[in-house]
Amino acid sequence: MQNTLVIDLNRCVGCMGCNAACKMTNGVPIGNFWNKVLRIGPTPMYEGAEFPDVEWYYLPVQCQHCADPECVKVCPTQASHKAEDGTVQINKLKCIGCQFCVMACPYGVRYLNAEERVVEKCTLCEQQITQGELPQCVSQCVGLAKWFGDLDEDPSMKSFRGGYNTTLGETVRDFTDADVHTLVDVGNHPSFRYILRGKQWRGKE
């Protein structure tokens, strides 16, 4: 089982609603972020292109709930662990705050909670998905760009659920395997998938 998100970047409008939803639902401290929305670009649409032939896209980034997470390997107390649903979780009662997981994460998505003195990150709203609900960033995505589901059960991702009781299969435009990307992989095998059609994916995979 590998619960994860697939994000249709052609639908993301960069409203940062997911960012605010996460902050409110999980009580993320000021200065800490469990998710962010990056603007990638503007970049030339083709070689030698000049304004206005430019393009950009928005990239929501958070814990990628990797299949082979580096953060879990380096945790001395196994506070960071792979849960049965495939997500990466932190047992705060075991965390000694050594922050080696912060160092080991290729995306820098982990933060030290200065008040509790433990490391935190996106849990995919574990408190909600274990009850059959959606992660808050998914249910509040106004562009219906974020979709939640089990990648092992449905590699096509068509059954992934989004806001308004819809599924990815019935909502998003068709895409090919070439349109599906991941963040740079250094052996951690990120589980998140990003769909981007008609634009050049920036960065390594």
Partner 1 sequence: MQPQWPLIIFTALIAWSMGIFATQAVLSLLGKGKKIQMPSLLCSFVVMVIGGVAVFFHLQHWERIFNGFGHITSGITQELIALVVVFVFMVVYFIMLRRSEDGFIAKWLSVAVIVVAATTDVVVAHSYMMPSRPAWDTFAWILAVVGNSCAAGPLAIAIISALKSDNSASLGLISVVGTGVNVATTVVYGLSLNGAIAQFDSLDYYFDPTVPTQKMVDVAATSASQSGLLWAGAVLVGAVLPLVMAVLARKTKGTPSVIVSTISLVAVLAGAVILRVVFYNMGFTVLTAF
Which positions touch partner 1 (CB under 8 A)? 14, 16, 33, 36-43, 56, 59, 61, 70, 73-78, 93-100, 103-109, 111-112, 117-118, 183-184, 186-188, 202-204
Element (H, E) at 70: helix 70-74
Q: Smallest gap, in angstroms, from Cβ of residue 62 to partner 1?
A: 9
Q: Which two tokens stand for residue 40?
A: 């990638």
Q: Smallest gap, in angstroms, from Cβ of residue 38 to partner 1?
A: 5
Q: Smallest gap, in angstroms, from Cβ of residue 96 to partner 1?
A: 5
Q: Which segments of 31-179 are extended strands (E)?
A: 35-44, 54-62, 80-82, 88-90, 111-113, 118-120, 146-150
- Nearest CB to partner 1, comparing residues 97 and 158: 97
Taking a C-beta distance cutoff of 8 angstroms, is the pair 15, 29 a contact? no
Q: Smallest gap, in angstroms, from Cβ of residue 132 to partner 1?
A: 30
Element (H, E) at 5: strand 3-8
- Nearest CB to partner 1, comparing residues 58 and 149: 58
- Nearest CB to partner 1, comparing residues 74 and 144: 74
Residue 4 CA to residue 146 CA, distance in Å, equals: 10
Burial per residue of 121-135, b for 16 or more beta-carbon CB atoms within 10 angstroms, e otherwise: bbbbbbebbeeeebb
- Nearest CB to partner 1, comparing residues 22 and 37: 37
Q: Smallest gap, in angstroms, from Cβ of residue 166 to partner 1?
A: 26
- Nearest CB to partner 1, comparing residues 78 and 165: 78
Strand 193-195 and strand 3-8: the pairing is: parallel
